[in-house]
Structure 1
Amino acid sequence: MTIIRGIVLYTRQYKDNDLLVRILTETYGMRTFLARGAKKATSKLSAGTQPYTIVTFDGALPKRETGLGYMNDVQDIKVYSRLIEDIEANAYAALITSLIDASFEEGEKITRWYNQLYVALQKLDEGLDPQIIANIFEIQLLVPLGVAPNLRADPITGQVDGKFDYSEKYNGIISEHHFNLDDQRLMLDQKTVFYLRQFSVIDMRQVHDIKMSAITKRGLQRVIDYIYEKQVGLKPRAKSFIEQMHSWQNTLVNFRRNK
């Protein structure tokens, strides 16, 4: 047996009382473990198989990269209560974990991303803006997803200062001196461009309390969604749920205003 530490991403029912548990491990990358009897009320595994739980357990790694491991005795768990109670924080956690799951191969060692996710869950639990936390992941995961837009400098001259806009044609930012080269550029305001560039390189540990206007947040999400739709071709179910959730919130706000 091996002591394994990881972050539970999600679970799937396997048999009546068994679960398949998808875990981003600290050492062995993304793995799927069979937790026998985890759905039983008396099971010691039950608490350690909840999504977004940090779990240390006695288990067995799969013999093949694509095989199942086994989750046995749970040694320690860390639960984030806000991610259970707050539907918005939970939804963004689901988006982040689904994107990580889609970005890497089974068993690929991604300790950096384990650490980033570990810190992100703490930030979400502390009440930081969940959209901003998710946006950082959405932008930085573009590299392993194979898009890797250039958000540092104009690709034509290497210019790093001044006004920029996002260009799918040039897969990144172009300076105002080259706006005429792409009439399909996104016409982003400069605050949106600033955060797009900053979030592409920021370490999650540096994120504390980022203040961003609602207009800038919408602009940032617009360009991220555009890149994922046009260049990545990926839209997790959690993203659709978040869009529906925001639609409900807007409907409720409008209802209250018109009372």
Structure 2
Amino acid sequence: MRTTTNSEITKGIVLKTMPYKENDQLVTLYTYEFGKLTIRARGSRKLTSKNAPALMSITEGEYEIALKSGLSNLIRATAIQYYQNIKKTIEAEIVADYLLEYFYRYESENSPSLEHYQFLEGILEALEIGYDYRIIYAYINCFIMKENGVELMTDGCVVCGNHHVDGFSIENGGFVCHEHYHLHDLRLPKDQLQAIRYLYKCPISRLHELHLEDIKPIQKIFEYYVDEFCGVNLRSRKFVKSIL
């Protein structure tokens, strides 16, 4: 963090903007140093505003902020990354909005996390360079599950630990082998079982290694856990559904 007189300078990603009074905006950022933070951007709705370009949704920038109790004020904003390719591709933009909404609605104020910032930044970069948006969506749901305490057993059979698995048990939360497979479990091909483990385990830097034609069964599994066990309800989900 760099300090100037009466202000702080931080890197951040715009999560949401809302009109405020005649020419101002309320801008919610996820910042590197302060976590989620809502600030007032005076005059940023004017056509002559120099700060306006760095306050658009799906934008990373450097923000100088006059921090105070209550609503802090923006002093200066400079864009670092506009993510133009995301904004040119409707599917990528919808998936990006899904993640931004999660951070906006479910991240705590003023609780910085370097891991969370890097995840948000990494997902946007992956979408920007053209990673499969369907895989990114599944990966985001893995993140939401883990953040809300949903741990899947993907190292072997959830019952006996056998590494030779044939399906996935929704009820038991993990892989099952032939011996412990039941009719209500999901029998999945080997590539989809491997993909579930990969999505749940791999760092974002290796996400480009996963290529899968039919990811819908995996998406449905992750969506089930997000809906039933995470208490997360995102309005943008209906837009994601329209592109899958």
Unaligned runs of 5+ in 2: 1-6
Contact 1:99–1:138 (CA<8 Å) still a contact in 2? Answer: no
The aligned residue for residue 229 of structure 2 is 231
Contact 1:103–1:144 (CA<8 Å) still a contact in 2? Answer: no
The aligned residue for residue 25 of structure 1 is 31
The separation in 2 between residues aligned to 1:177 and 1:105, in whole angstroms, is: 44
Q: Which residue of 214, 237, 242 maps to 2:240?
A: 242
Distance 1:75 1:102, change over 3 A: closer
Cα deviation for residue 42 of structure 1 reads 0.8
Amino acid corresponding to residue 100 of structure 2 in structure 1: T
The aligned residue for residue 123 of structure 1 is 126
Q: Secondary structure at the match of 1:200?
A: helix
1:166-185: CA deviations, max 9, x gaps?
323223333332223xx432
Q: Which residue of 112, 120, 123 maps to 2:115?
A: 112
Distance 1:230 1:53, change over 3 A: same
**How much is the aligned-residue C-alpha RMSD, in angstroms?**
2.1
The aligned residue for residue 206 of structure 1 is 206
The separation in 2 between residues aligned to 1:15 and 1:151, in whole angstroms, is: 51
The separation in 2 between residues aligned to 1:137 and 1:154, in whole angstroms, is: 24
Contact 1:186–1:223 (CA<8 Å) still a contact in 2? Answer: no
Distance 1:69 1:131, change over 3 A: farther
Taking only the aligned residue pairs, the percentage that are identical comes to: 24
Q: Quick check: which one's strand share is greater?
A: 2
Distance 1:76 1:218, change over 3 A: closer
1:73-112: CA deviations, max 9, x gaps?
1144321111222111110100122233444322222211
TM-score (norm 2): 0.87
The separation in 2 between residues aligned to 1:231 and 1:191, in whole angstroms, is: 26
- What is the number of equivalent residue pairs in this alignment? 238
The aligned residue for residue 192 of structure 2 is 192
The separation in 1 between residues aligned to 2:161 and 2:106, in whole angstroms, is: 29
TM-score (norm 1): 0.83
Contact 1:104–1:144 (CA<8 Å) still a contact in 2? Answer: no
